[in-house]
């Protein structure tokens, strides 16, 4: 599911940034991790224990670690109906076609 999420949400762009969510939150990086839940700020749950600015650089190791937490968390990826619609139980081969995975 994270590979589909990265393809669907950011088109695999590690510097993707969306600051236009209705609730005032922003989404960062290849997995579009939301700052109200995952960022190291006073108003956040800080579930990933990192600054969102780290999610928009070329090093995606921290993004992957956070995405793993998102997948395991009950409030994680399943809450987003669009992601479920586009990714859950779908053929994800198109997202892996040009990769070496």
Active site residues: 9, 27
Q: What is the CA 71 to chain-centroid distance, rounded?
A: 10
Using CA atoms, how far residue 68 sits from 24, 31, 76, 83, in Å, is 24, 11, 9, 15
Q: Are 69 and 48 in contact (CB under 8 A)?
A: yes
């Amino acid at each position: 599911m994270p590979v589909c999420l990265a393809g669907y949400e950011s088109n695999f762009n590690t510097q993707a940034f969306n600051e236009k969510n209705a609730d005032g939150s922003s989404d960062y990086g290849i997995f579009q991790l939301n700052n109200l839940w995952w960022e190291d700020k006073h108003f956040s749950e800080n579930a990933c224990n990192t600054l969102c600015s780290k999610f928009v650089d070329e090093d995606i190791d921290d993004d992957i670690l956070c995405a793993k937490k998102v997948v395991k968390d009950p409030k994680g990826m399943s809450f987003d109906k669009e992601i479920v619609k586009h990714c859950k139980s779908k053929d994800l081969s198109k997202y892996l076609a040009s990769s070496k995975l």
